[in-house]
């Protein structure tokens, strides 16, 4: 039983690096990040990523966020 568990664990560890090639991973084609700070202190962050799936489809993802500075209490 102990020998069987060791063999299973060893084969799993050796197969793990090649699993990405068999299953397929997304390939990143383009990545763009911009951060802008306005005069009032508001910071905007835009991130665009273009990836190609293993089946050949292209997916574009856009993330936008804005951070407004906290107003001080009087």
* Residue 31 CB coordination number (10 Å): 11
Tens of pLDDT, residues 18-49:
555 556 788 999 999 999 999 888 999 999 99
DSSP reduced 3-state for 40: coil
Q: Which residues contact 3 (CB under 8 A, 6 or more apart)?
A: none
C-alpha to C-alpha distance for 25 and 63, rounded to whole angstroms: 21
CA neighbor of 41 nearest in space, from 61, 68, 14? 68
In whole numbers, what is the pLDDT of the chain averaged over residues? Answer: 82
Does pTM top 0.75 for this prediction?
A: no
């Amino acid at each position: 039983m102990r020998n069987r568990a060791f063999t299973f664990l060893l084969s799993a560890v050796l197969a793990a690096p090649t699993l990405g090639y068999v299953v397929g991973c997304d390939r990143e084609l383009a990545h763009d990040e911009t951060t802008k700070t306005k005069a009032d202190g508001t910071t905007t962050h835009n991130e665009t990523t273009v990836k190609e799936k293993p089946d050949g489809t292209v997916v574009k993802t856009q993330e936008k966020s804005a951070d407004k500075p906290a107003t001080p209490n009087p």
